[in-house]
Amino acid sequence: MPKIKVAIVGVGNCASSLLQGLAFYRKVGGASNFRGVRNPTLGGFFPSDIEVVAAFDVDKRKVGKDLSEAIFAPPNNTLRVSDVPSTNVIVKKGPVLDGVGEGLSKVVQLSSEPDSNVLDVLKESGSEIMVNLLPSGAVKASRWYAEQALRAANGFINATPVPIAYDRKWSRLFSEAGLPLVGDDLVDQFGATALHKTLLNLLTRNGVYVKETYQLDVGGGTESLETMERTKEAKRSIKTEAIEASLPYKTEVVAGSTDYVEFLENKRDSYFWIRGTYFCNAPLQIDLKLSTFDGPNAGSVLFDVIRATKIALTKKAKGTVMPISAYAFKHPPKQIPVDEAERMFYDFVA
């Protein structure tokens, strides 16, 4: 199979886990050894068919470095699970725009290098898919990179909560360009939202009536810091909407991040509370805690989304691709039940 050539915007913890995952699973051999990956093969593609050919960041500890070094530079602090051989991809300086808020300015050391010509870098690298891994509050920067993807004839994956795939204007622009667009706000492989939705689905299938439920997240790392400063309400709205969509009726739902704890580093602790009734209005209550790491939680899903977007390119899919967006993102243009979204996705990539 031909390589899937990818450009990464934002060399943070998610990018680190993606590159480490590519190195890790290149060593394991056949599909039977892909423990921890949901889909060892997808449309005939293995994770090893993904090749990162360009990367952009603004931190001086990353700009000008080989990508294999940059992914381990501060403030990145996710799990280190694999050495990454030299990629021969030098991280280029991108425009800052609104990519660094007040909170991040205390941990990000801005490079004094001049901005690279992003469009030229994309064309010279031969990239065909751009993956936006910028901080969640980088609205102008995310849209600027979406414009560069259009100009470079790249499909665009928006892992941030910035409404791009959700926005009809952007969907139309990518449709007119004959390019796929997927997003917004990447789900975790097994995170709080997925667990919460699964629990609620299980309860309602068994006749339990859910009266009230909440999901509260506490985390470290730059994304948690960014969420508390600039996107707390937007993320809460997206998560709450995703949880509500898993119930067949309206009830009291609260879901979102509540605090940043620096010493947790890239770890996230999620707390769930569900109150309801079952047979003859007998009371039921669930109180749970889930601990995960943000970076690795994105890896398997990115493997799926990148390969599926390559399939969308070969199928000449245009505009927002619903089967991928509904399967792998918290805020697609339309919320679709998990089982139906998975059927759509696997039918699309078959």
Omega within 30 of 0 (cis) for the link into 184? yes
Give me the domain span that covers residue 140.
4-187+296-349
Cβ–Cβ < 8 Å for 94, 59: no
List pLDDT tens digits, range 228-276.
Answer: 888 888 888 888 988 998 899 999 999 988 888 999 999 999 999 999 9
Rounded Cα gap, residues 134 and 69, in angstroms: 19
Q: Specify the 3-state DSSP secondary structure of 314.
A: helix
Cβ–Cβ < 8 Å for 164, 185: no
- Single residue among 293, 317, 341 that ends a domain in this structure: 293
Residues 111 and 159 in one domain: yes
Residues 39 and 154 in one domain: yes
Confirm whether pTM is higher than 0.75. yes
**Beta strands per DSSP E along the chain:** 4-9, 50-57, 92-93, 129-132, 155-158, 180-182, 209-219, 252-260, 267-277, 283-293, 319-320
Residues 110 and 155 in one domain: yes
Residues 174 and 25 in one domain: yes
pLDDT category of residue 129 using cuts at 50, 70 and 90: very high
Query: What's the confidence (pLDDT) of residue 213?
Result: 97
Which is it for the CA torsion 11, 263, 25, 180, positive or negative?
Answer: negative
Q: What is the DSSP string of 121-166?
A: HHHHHT--EEEE---TT-HHHHHHHHHHHHHTT-EEEE-SSSSSTT
Residues 60 and 172 in one domain: yes
Residue 87 φ then ψ, to 5°:
-100, -15
Query: What's the confidence (pLDDT) of residue 32?
Result: 62
Residues 214 and 102 in one domain: no
- Single residue among 257, 277, 293 that ends a domain in this structure: 293
Rounded Cα gap, residues 8 and 150, in angstroms: 15
Residues 202 and 175 in one domain: no
Mean pLDDT computed over every residue of the chain:
94
Structure token pair of residue 151 = 């100009």
Q: Could you tell me the CATH number of the domain that includes residue 261?
A: 3.30.360.10
Count of residues making up the chain: 350
Angle at 225 between CA 219 and CA 230, to 5 degrees: 125
pLDDT category of residue 221 using cuts at 50, 70 and 90: confident
Which is it for the CA torsion 159, 163, 168, 174, positive or negative?
Answer: negative
- Residue 196 identity (one-letter amino acid): H
**Which residues, in sequence order, are CB contacts of 33 under 8 Å at separation 6+?**
none
At residue 30, does pLDDT exceed 80?
A: no
Total domains present in the chain: 2
Rounded Cα gap, residues 138 and 136, in angstroms: 6
At residue 31, does pLDDT exceed 80?
A: no
Residues 84 and 132 in one domain: yes
Q: Could you tell me the CATH number of the domain that includes residue 138?
A: 3.40.50.720
- Residue 220's closest CA among 292, 132, 271? 292
